[in-house]
Amino acid sequence: MKTIKEILNSFFVLFFAMQLISCGQNEKSSRQDTINDMQGMDMGDKKTKQDTMPDMDMGDKKEKSELVNRPSATISLNDVIKPTNKFVLTSLPLTTLQQLTNKVDLQFYGIVNYNEKDAEIISSRVSGRIDKLYLKYRFESISKGEKLMEIYSPELVTAQQDLLFILNNDAGNNSLIESAKQKLLLLGMNEMQLNELIHKKTIKNTITIYSNYYGHIHESGEKASMNNMEPVMNTASEITQPLSLKEGMYVTKGQQLFMIYNPDNAWILANVFPEQQPYVHKGDVVYVSSGTDSSNLFSGKIDFIEPQYRDGNKTLTVRINFDNASLKFPIGGRVKVEEKNIAISGAWLATSSILSLGKDKVVFVKSGNGFVARKINVNYSTLEKSLVNGDFSSKDSVVLNAQYLIDSESFIKVK
């Protein structure tokens, strides 16, 4: 058995050796045939082939040769071995700085809020207990003359008794009668309630308090929240949040109970970004459109520029007053504000040539056979051009599209 295996192994070795020798001979024969064919070629064909392409510009061959050979002739070894995070070799299109005046449209965004100048406060005129409360939740809409609450007050009961006593016992004493009437009016009764008391001569234990204003009801002391840049109606839980006042609670004379904001008299609180701030002034005409309906457009003026930044905010806040009675912009809605045709003069550069590194912005400036990254300050930017302030002149050339010089794993080092 062992002898048979050895014979088979020898056979297979001999077979593969013969195959290798045969392949080598065939390759040699093929090469020899190719050489013989080339030697037997009629060189006249060469002329024929050249004549069949008379329109071809043979100068292209020379130009391509120059493009291929030029890098090795102009780029030195020192250029190649420079750090890739400081020096880039490329042949991309270039651009330069331009001194000109551009007319741009400033765009910033804001929120519709209540005009605090039109806010009204409802305070308690007497001390007593809230017997019935007609308003239960924040942001409820209230009309002028609508019921707010019924309050029991011993002081009001006593004042009613005094008026009826004078009418019954000294009806001709007009000065005392008018004085008693005036006291009841100052304590919160209205003319209709006073006339009803005189006519029916019946003392009421509770007096109904009516609203003298139209608007949305809020808790007293919510002025800070109304002046917020965040929408005042963020979630359903905030809208349906009940008022802190409850039936059965006692109030004191002079205590502030509610604040009523009129939604028809509103203003816009808009955020102005730092690069836009030098070009925004009080009295500038702006155009405001709704975030949901761009056709709902109106013009207004910047009435006030807040002199300081708000807490946690790096944008400047401007106010734009407007009449919301016909526009009916929802309070808390976002709007777009535009200031058109602002002339800005300075050094402008193509926005595509500026690369943002997060905190810093850089351009790639031509230096010798390559480009170096140089930090630049951008004062204002549009989609096409950017107003810059850097330490390079209009003679310096920069790469037109800086995005082509980086990839996802690159990092750039600037001075």
16: its two tokens:
């593969």
Highest mean pLDDT among 23-27, 227-231, 366-370, 403-407: 366-370
Q: pLDDT tier at 10 (50, 70, 90 boundaries)? A: low
- pLDDT at position 371 over 90: no
> What is the β-pairing status of strands 385-389 and 334-350?
antiparallel
To the nearest whole number, what is the mean pLDDT of the chain?
75
182 or 223, which is more confident? 182
* Number of other residues whose CB lies within 10 A of the CB of residue 158: 12
**What's domain 106-115+263-343's architecture?**
Beta Barrel (2.40)
323 or 357, which is more confident? 323
Domain ranges of the chain: 80-102+344-405, 106-115+263-343, 116-261
In percent, how much of the chain has pLDDT > 70? Answer: 67
**Residue from 331, 325, 412 nearest 376 by CA:** 412
Max CA-CA distance within the chain?
153
Residues 341 and 358 sit within 8 Å (Cβ to Cβ): no
229 or 181, which is more confident? 181
Q: Determine the average pLDDT of the residues in 272-285.
A: 88
Q: What is the pLDDT of residue 86?
A: 53
pLDDT one-digit tens code per residue, 27-86: 444 444 444 444 444 444 444 344 444 444 444 444 333 333 334 445 554 544 455 555
Q: Does domain 116-261 have CATH number 1.10.580.10?
A: no
Q: What is the pLDDT of residue 231?
A: 44
Highest mean pLDDT among 24-38, 200-214, 377-391: 200-214
pLDDT one-digit tens code per residue, 100-158: 888 888 888 999 999 888 888 999 999 999 999 998 888 889 999 999 999 999 999 99
Q: What is the pLDDT of residue 206?
A: 92
147 or 394, which is more confident? 147
Cα separation, 201 vs 160, whole angstroms = 9
Mapping DSSP to helix (H, G, I), strand (E, B) and coil, where does residue 358 land?
A: coil
Q: Does domain 80-102+344-405 have CATH number 2.40.420.20?
A: yes
DSSP class per residue in 145-157 = T-EEEEEE-HHHH
Give the N- to C-terminal CA distance of the chain in Å, as an integer.
82
Angstrom distances, CA of residue 47 to CA of 44, 50, 314, 412: 5, 5, 77, 56
Which of 16-20, 23-27, 162-166 bottoms out in mean pLDDT, i.e. has the lowest? 23-27
What amino acid is encoded at 27 in this protein? E
- pLDDT at position 314 over 60: yes
Q: What is the pLDDT of residue 292?
A: 67
Cα separation, 248 vs 390, whole angstroms = 69
- pLDDT at position 337 over 50: yes
Q: What is the pLDDT of residue 159?
A: 94
Q: What is the pLDDT of residue 48?
A: 38
Which of 169-183, 294-308, 401-415 bottoms out in mean pLDDT, i.e. has the lowest? 401-415
